[in-house]
Structures are given as C-alpha cells and as structure tokens.
Amino acid sequence: VRELHIQMPADIEKAQEVEHLGSWIYHPTDPSLFTCSRELCRIFGLRENEFDGRMESFFTLVHPEDREAVERAYMAAIVDNIPYSLEHRIVRPDGSVRWVHAQADIIRDAEGRLVQIIGIIQDITARREAKERVRRSERRYHTLVHASPVGIFHTDAQGECIYVNERWCEIAGLKAEEAYGAGWARALHPKDRERIATEWYAAVREHRLFKSVYRFLCPDGRIIWVYGQAAGEESETGEIIGYVGTVTDITEQKQIEQRLLQQQGELCHAQRLITIGELAGVMAHELNQPLGAITNYLEGAIIRYEKEFTSNPELGKVLEHTLRLAEHAIHVVRNIRALVRKQDPSRQGVDINALIRETVQLIGAEIARREVRITLDLALNIRPLWSHRVYLQQLLLNLILNSMEAMETIDTKNRRLIIQTLGTERAIEIRITDTGVGFGEESATRLFEPFITTKKEGVGLGLSICRTIVETHGGEILADSRPGQGATFRVTLPTDRRSHERDPNRADRFHR
Amino acid sequence: MSATQTEPTVFIVDDDSEMRNSLKWLIESVCLPVEVFECAEAFIQAFNPNRPGCLLLDVRMPGMGGLRLLDWLRAQGAHLPVIMFTDHGDVSMAVSAWKGGAFHFIEKPASRQQLLHCIQDALTLDRDLRTKASKQAAIEARLAQLTPREREVLERVVEGESNKCIAMELGITERTVEKHRESIMEKMGTRSLAKLMQMIFLCRRDG
C-alpha cells in the first residue's frame, strides 16, 4: 500500500493543524506519487479512509463557480511560470462551503523540466468572515452616520474636531473642512460659547454625559437651536482619547415653544386688562348711581334752602363742599372708565375653530394635569367673526377653565369636556359641555353677576367677564344645568359685521 | 284745548329709585311739577299726549328699555321732548338716541346746570310745539267751514292769481269771485290778505 500522506515531524503536523494549513506534493512524471498532509484532508472535509490518493479528488471539491479560475491559474503557473496563488471556495462532501487560500511552487530541473509541485492550502473561512463582518459593520456605520437625522461630531482629546457628518454641516451651515480642528466652535452662538464651555468641562470632570440646549449661529445669520449631547471616548486603558457627540435641530420646537410662551404672555396681559376693565365697569356702574343721587339731593337742597344760608352760612359752605367732593368722585370714576376703554384692541376677522384649537393647545398642560378628556366637534365652513381676538380667547379660556373646575370632585374617568361650534346664516354658536357638578336653576340666573362665586380663591369675575365680552360682540350667553348632571354654556355670536354694535335693548336686560 | 292749560310736568322714567327720587327732589326745587315712573311700561300706561312737559328717560332699563319707549312715542306721533340719560362714553347708545329722535342726551351723572338748562329748553320747545299745534288746529277748524267753491277760490288767491284770472278759470264772473273772497275772509276771521296767507302757510308747512 502506497503512503498517501506526507511524512512530517509531529510538531510540523501540529502547526498545520493549528493554522488550518495543509500541504501537498505532486510529481508530474508520476501522478500516482501525489501525497498530501492530513490537515489538507481535514480542510477538504475528507475522512482518513475517504481519500483515494488522487489529486483529482481535491479538484472535484473546488466550488463549481471557482473551478475555471483555479484551472486557469494552475495552467498559467505550469505554462507561463506565473506564481500560483489564489483564494477560492471549496465544497466539502457534507455540502459546507469553505474559503481557502491556495499557493504552489513549481520546481523544475536545470533544463526547465517540471520536477515537482509543492502546494499549500490554508482554510481562510474564519478570516474572510471576520473581514466581511468588519466590512458590513463599516457599511452600517456609514449608513448610520450619513442618513442620520442628527448631526454627529468626533473630536480628539483636546477637542479638535476630526470628523463631522453631513447633517452636522447642514445644521451648522459650515463645510466639513471648516469644522475640522478648532473651526467647529465658530458654529456656536457667541452668547452661548462661554456657557457651553463651562458645562462641557463640568461634564468631562465629572465623567458624565454632556447635555445642553444651545444655539448655532450660521454664517448666513440664521440662528439654529440645537439639543446637543456628547460623551468621552475612552481607550482600553480608560483614558479619554476623544469625544463623540450629536446635535439635533430643535429650532422648530423652540419656535413653537416661544410662540406658546408669547401667546401665554399676551393672554396674561389681556386677562389683567379685561379683569381690571370689568372691575372698573362694575364699580363705575355701582358708584355712579349713588353718586349721581347724592349730587342731585345736594343741589336740590342748596336751591331750596338758599335763604337759610344767610343766617347759617356754615351750612351753605358744607353743602357746597360736599357737592364738590361728590363731583370729584364722579370725575375719578369717569376717568378710570375712560382709561380702561382706551385699551380696547382693534377688531379683526377671527376663525373661531382655529382659535378654539389654539386655546386648547395653550392650556394643554392644565388639561392634562386635571385629567380631563376634551372632544372638539367643530362645524365646517364656519364664517369668521369680526372680533377682538384676545377677548374671544379670554371668553373661551374662562369657560373652559370654569368647566374644568366644575369637574374637580368628579372621578377622573368621567371628566369630559365637549367643545362644539355650530354655524347658522347669521351667527355662530359655541357650546361648552362638561360632566361636572352642575348647578340649580336659581344659580343659573345669577351666574353671570359680578362677585358671585362658589370657589374659594375666585373673585367671581370670570363669568361676568364672559357676559361682558359676549355683549360687546352683540351676542348672548346662556347656561343650562341640573345639579350633579354637568352643565352646558351656550354662546351665540353674530357673524354679521353690523350687528356687532351693541344692541342696547338687549344689553339692558343683562345689565342690572 | 283745555289740556294745554295744565302746568308743564317733568316726567322721569328710571328704574333706580335713588336716581328717580333725587332727580324729583332737584327738579321740584326749581318749582317744576315732577312725576316719576320706574319703568317704560308704567309711563306708557299713564301717558296722555295732551299733557305738556318733557321726559327724562334712562336708556338702560330692564324690560322695554329707553330706546324702545322713544320709538313708541314717535310711533304715537307724540312730540313730547325726550332727554335721554346715557352712560358715560357709550357712543353707540348716544347715536341710537339721536336717531330715535331724542331732544337731547345727557351723560350720567349730569350736573345741575346742564340738566336744568336742558329741561328748560325742552319745556320751551314743547310749549312752542303745542302753541303751534293749537293755532294750526284753529285754522283747520276755520278752513273746514269753507264751501268747496270757496276752497277753489282760496287756493288760487294764495297762488297770487288775480280775480279776473280766477273768474275765467272757474267760469264765473269777477263779481262772484269777489263775493267768495269776502266770505272766505269772514270765515277765516281776518281782513288782511297777508294774514290769510300766513295762516295757510302755517298749516301747509307741516302738511
């Protein structure tokens, strides 16, 4: 029996096994003298007794798609002396595919005749897979970094920028080259630079994530608000070798936030004015009548008893003086009213549906805190109201808050608020329905009077203000409720521009 | 026309009792009779168009309200001068009061001089209107005594036509025209043509 395997020292054999590297020797003059190492058989998945000693046995295991390349290389080596070295796949008898690196030396005699071919074949499957993994991971990294909606930057330990992604450049309005080194700091808004530096160093010192909201000032003058985060990049030994961070463009959010804040501010301002106006109106009305009566009585008395004053001049003086004081008081009341009336904002066309949505959004936090479910049921194609926008918003706000407060003692799962709008030819009706404690018929008539309240902190002007606002628009407000069964407030406002002038006869009915 | 002889009265309609009574006190102190009502409806119930005077009316009142009462008076053909009380700076109300034919409007609370002046003016206006109305009534009564033919002649006389013209137009003699004129003068209670013309124009102006 011919020896099929190359005889080799045990240590070499062991080395081949560890490196998954097999070898073979071929004698072209006598193909039957083909020998190979045991490791080669293992690489090809052949068991001890499956190897028949023929070179073809290996060749048939070359992956069909690689066979031509292998043949060509082999021929090129023999004919043209081109070194044989290539990576190709093999298919083991069990069907599994492996990658191998095959190399061979062609040994010739002095006349150039082929004497022997010595080849090695190494299983490189693991290496290739590792490479493939790296390649995939790199591709993923690139995809992530490029397609990412956040700006990404990478600096060295000194804070010199070594990388920014495209999105970062977009946000900052700088080119990548401009950002490298210390250039990236130029993107920071000058007013935020010092604060960011302080926060950054504090984060680095305390080994925590840097998180902050700040501004980029683009070269074109745009201001971009960003939410930035950054973390230290540590080496294996735990020292900081750089920083990686992200920036997210939050300009839009910030604008919404600022608009909300501004609206809240405006609303607060309007609210104060409206409250003062209501108070002044109520006071002026209540004081005018008695003050008027006082002056009438005094003047009548002065005329009637003029003769008495010659014998009693002090009485005349006192009456005249009292009259002056009463007139002064009338004057003061009048001035306060005039002052308040001057603050009236101008009217404009108002889309009531949009205003309702905006108002609900404005107090979204309060609605959430009170765990009230709000349903909007708004009519389509509603006509605009010729109106004071802030007044209307105040009206909505007062009614919504009033309804929410009425639901304070109700189980949270039953707290519901429905805001409806209905359009008719000449008017808009707004209905606000709650599931609160409600009120009786008696309260319903006094509800809109000033200084009527059931709340501990209330002054009782909220609904009185509502009535004043509605009447200013030539409209009507009604409340409908039964105790314990919630309440519905109905506001009717005319859309006809002319009817916005106060209807005096209708106002009469409410005014006292 | 006995009603015109009654003393002019200041009527006050105001739902606020203090305001009502204090105004009464003030106006009575200048020796004018005052009658007060707490609402428009009460005033309407007591209203007698023959009673002279003026009306102080509060715009803002429960129920019918001041402006509607004003409308009602005008619809009745009553010329009673109305002074309206409006709230200070309530321009739309003041405009409505003017349009409704108010004699004057006063912002509350009013000063004595302003109020009393206004009342005097209103009473003067009312007196003039009533004097004119009674004169017109007297003339109308005399005109009613004319025969149809006399009316035809009178119309032409007023137009300034000569007796000759009138005679030709009506197909009668000049003498007959003269007779008619004499009868007209007698019935109208005057001997002067100028006076006759004045009487006719006084009636016509208010058609």
DSSP character string of A412-451: GGG-EEEEEEEE-SSEEEEEEEE-S----HHHHHHTTSTT
**Chain A residues closer than 8 Å to B93 by CB:** 502, 504
pLDDT digits (tens, 9 = 90+) for B42-52: 999 999 998 99
**CA B18/CA B109 separation, integer angstroms:** 12
Which among A297, A338, A504 is the nearest to B59, CB-wise? A504
Asked if pLDDT for residue A502 goes beyond 50, the answer is: no
CB half-sphere exposure, B99, CA atoms < 13 A: 8
Q: Are B77 and B50 in contact (CB under 8 A)?
A: no
The answer to whether the Cβ–Cβ distance between B62 and A509 falls below 8 Å is: yes
DSSP character string of A442-458: HHHHHTTSTT---SSS-
Kindly state whether A75 is in contact with chain B, defined as any CB-CB distance less than 8 angstroms: no
**CA B87/CA B91 separation, integer angstroms:** 9
The answer to whether the Cβ–Cβ distance between A303 and B26 falls below 8 Å is: yes
Kindly state whether A290 is in contact with chain B, defined as any CB-CB distance less than 8 angstroms: yes
Determine the residue type at B52: P
pTM exceeds 0.80, yes or no: no
Going by C-alpha positions, the residue among B133, B122, B182 that lies closest to residue B154 is B182
Q: Pick from B18, B84, B115, B119 the residue to mutate for testing the A interface (most A CBs within 10 Å).
A: B18
CA distance A454 to chain B (A): 27
Name the token pair of B98: 């003017």
Which among A341, A501, A511 is the nearest to B60, CB-wise? A511
The answer to whether the Cβ–Cβ distance between A304 and B110 falls below 8 Å is: no
Kindly state whether A330 is in contact with chain B, defined as any CB-CB distance less than 8 angstroms: yes
Name the token pair of A126: 């693991």
CA distance A337 to chain B (A): 9
β partners of residue A420: A377, A431
DSSP character string of A166-193: HHHHHHHT--HHHHTBTGGGGGB-HHHH
Kindly state whether A47 is in contact with chain B, defined as any CB-CB distance less than 8 angstroms: no
**CA A507/CA A476 separation, integer angstroms:** 9
pLDDT (0 to 100) of residue B90: 66
Kindly state whether A19 is in contact with chain B, defined as any CB-CB distance less than 8 angstroms: no
Name the token pair of A268: 């607060």
The answer to whether the Cβ–Cβ distance between A295 and B109 falls below 8 Å is: yes
Rounded mean pLDDT of A444-449?
A: 78
Kindly state whether A497 is in contact with chain B, defined as any CB-CB distance less than 8 angstroms: no
Asked if pLDDT for residue A454 goes beyond 90, the answer is: no
Instruction: Count other Cβ atoms within 10 Å, centred on residue A62.
Output: 20
**Chain A residues closer than 8 Å to B30 by CB:** 303
pLDDT (0 to 100) of residue A507: 38
**Chain A residues closer than 8 Å to B23 by CB:** 296
Helix residue spans in A113-175 (DSSP H)? 125-147, 166-172
Instruction: Count other Cβ atoms within 10 Å, centred on residue B167.
Output: 19
CA distance B74 to chain A (A): 17
Going by C-alpha positions, the residue among A285, A234, A277, A320 that lies closest to residue A468 is A277
3-state helix, strand, coil in chain B (%, to 5): 60, 10, 30
Going by C-alpha positions, the residue among A86, A91, A100, A92 that lies closest to residue A128 is A100
Range with lowest mean pLDDT among A114-123, A180-189, A258-267, B133-142: A258-267
Residue of chain B with shortest Cα separation from A501: B92
| Interfacial residues of B (vs A; Cβ cutoff 8 Å) | 15-16, 18-19, 21-23, 25-30, 59-68, 87-89, 92-93, 96, 108-112
Size of interface A-B (CB pairs under 8 A): 88
pLDDT band at A324 (very low <50, low <70, confident <90, very high): very high
**DSSP letter assigned to residue A73:** H
**CA B179/CA B197 separation, integer angstroms:** 18
Kindly state whether A335 is in contact with chain B, defined as any CB-CB distance less than 8 angstroms: no
**CA A474/CA A502 separation, integer angstroms:** 5
Determine the residue type at B171: G
In order of B123, B158, B179, the CA distances from B197 in angstroms are 29, 6, 18
Instruction: Count other Cβ atoms within 10 Å, centred on residue A438.
Output: 19
CA distance B17 to chain A (A): 9
Range with lowest mean pLDDT among A39-48, B20-29, B110-119: B110-119
Rounded mean pLDDT of A334-361?
A: 81
Handedness of CA A224, A225, A229, A230 (dihedral sign): positive
Parallel/antiparallel/unpaired status of strands A21-26 and A35-36: antiparallel
**Chain A residues closer than 8 Å to B15 by CB:** 512
pLDDT (0 to 100) of residue A497: 63
Phi, psi (degrees; rounded to nearest 5) at A28:
-60, -30
**DSSP letter assigned to residue A62:** B
Which among B25, B61, B109 is the nearest to A288, CB-wise? B109
**Chain A residues closer than 8 Å to B18 by CB:** 289-290, 293
Q: Does the ipTM exceed 0.95? A: no
Please tell me which residue, B62 or A134, carries the higher pLDDT value: A134
In order of A163, A395, A466, A471, B133, the CA distances from A280 in angstroms are 65, 18, 15, 17, 48
pLDDT (0 to 100) of residue B2: 43
Instruction: Count other Cβ atoms within 10 Å, centred on residue A57.
Output: 16
pLDDT (0 to 100) of residue A389: 83
Please tell me which residue, A357 or B94, carries the higher pLDDT value: A357
Residue of chain A with shortest Cα separation from B58: A508
Rounded mean pLDDT of A159-187?
A: 90
Phi, psi (degrees; rounded to nearest 5) at A6:
-70, 135
| Backbone dihedral region for residue A381 (phi beyond 0: left; psi -120 to 50: alpha; all else: beta) | left
3-state helix, strand, coil in chain A (%, to 5): 50, 25, 25
Which among A284, A299, A337 is the nearest to B26, CB-wise? A299
Phi, psi (degrees; rounded to nearest 5) at B14:
-150, 135
The answer to whether the Cβ–Cβ distance between A297 and B62 falls below 8 Å is: no
**Chain B residues closer than 8 Å to A289 by CB:** 16, 18-19
- The gap between the terminal CA atoms of chain B, to the nearest Å, is 21
Which among B22, B68, B110 is the nearest to A505, CB-wise? B68
Share of chain A above pLDDT 70, in %: 94
CA distance B84 to chain A (A): 13
CB half-sphere exposure, A340, CA atoms < 13 A: 23
| Backbone dihedral region for residue A34 (phi beyond 0: left; psi -120 to 50: alpha; all else: beta) | beta
**Chain A residues closer than 8 Å to B64 by CB:** 505
What is the number of helices (H) and of strands (E) in chain A? 17, 17
DSSP character string of B186-203: HHHT-S-HHHHHHHHHHH
